[in-house]
Amino acid sequence: MNESILKSLKPWMIKPFEFIFHAETHYRSSSDYSKRMAFISFDNAIEVAIYTFMHSNTRPKGASLYKKEDLEKVKNSYFGKLKEFEKYIQNKSLPIKRDKDTINYYHEQRNKLYHDASLSSPDLFELNEIRQIALWVFSVLFEIINIEDLLNNSITEAELNCPRIPEEYVKPIISGIEKHQETPLFITSVLGGWNENSKDDNDIIREVINGI
């Protein structure tokens, strides 16, 4: 993730956001595997965001939202974290977009995906729902009103900073070969075989080259 994005977040926000970022990269892919990973990661992001928020608002002295025993009580309880989240937004008089029972339902679907030996793809409506919940929980707890923009910018910057394959590795220059022959030879090497006496093979090569 780009450093400029990380600098826009408080240190304790980075880990929950990384879970959302990871989930979003899978969400934008079309494979069944990526959809499963997105669903699981968005669910993880919800739990991590709540627990991180509680931990960052726990102090040994002075006024605080949570005590150490509150952390211990919900440490291994997903539903316990949801109850604390719902209590928090009620105290802040914020709208409850999804109640704790609804969120927990999607968590149960996540568990089925995680343990399902059939490797089925998640329902797209439910995938979109848990994504919206993860973004909502993060934005409410950490007061990030532009979470969609932040996420889009982080994905865009990650793609722009992705290392590019050097051109000489993509289409190497071969000594002793005419310039107009380099591309056809490279294409045929990618295709894995080419019969120069075959009309079909020559037609395929010609179509590929014309498209470059």
Those residues whose C-beta lies under 8 Å from the C-beta of residue 161, and which sit 6 or more positions away, are 2
**Where are the chain's structural domains?**
3-160, 167-210
Q: What is the pLDDT of residue 198?
A: 63
Structure-token pair, residue 4: 């400029």
Q: What whole-number distance in Å separates Cα of residue 111 and Cα of residue 4?
A: 34
Q: What percentage of the chain exceeds 70 in pLDDT? A: 67
Q: What percentage of the chain exceeds 90 in pLDDT? A: 41
Does the pLDDT of residue 171 top 50, yes or no? no
The predicted-structure confidence for 93-106, as pLDDT tens digits, reads as follows: 999 999 999 999 99
Question: Average pLDDT for residues 175-183, to the nearest whole number?
Answer: 50
The predicted-structure confidence for 33-73, as pLDDT tens digits, reads as follows: 899 899 999 999 999 999 999 998 876 555 568 888 888 99
Those residues whose C-beta lies under 8 Å from the C-beta of residue 211, and which sit 6 or more positions away, are none
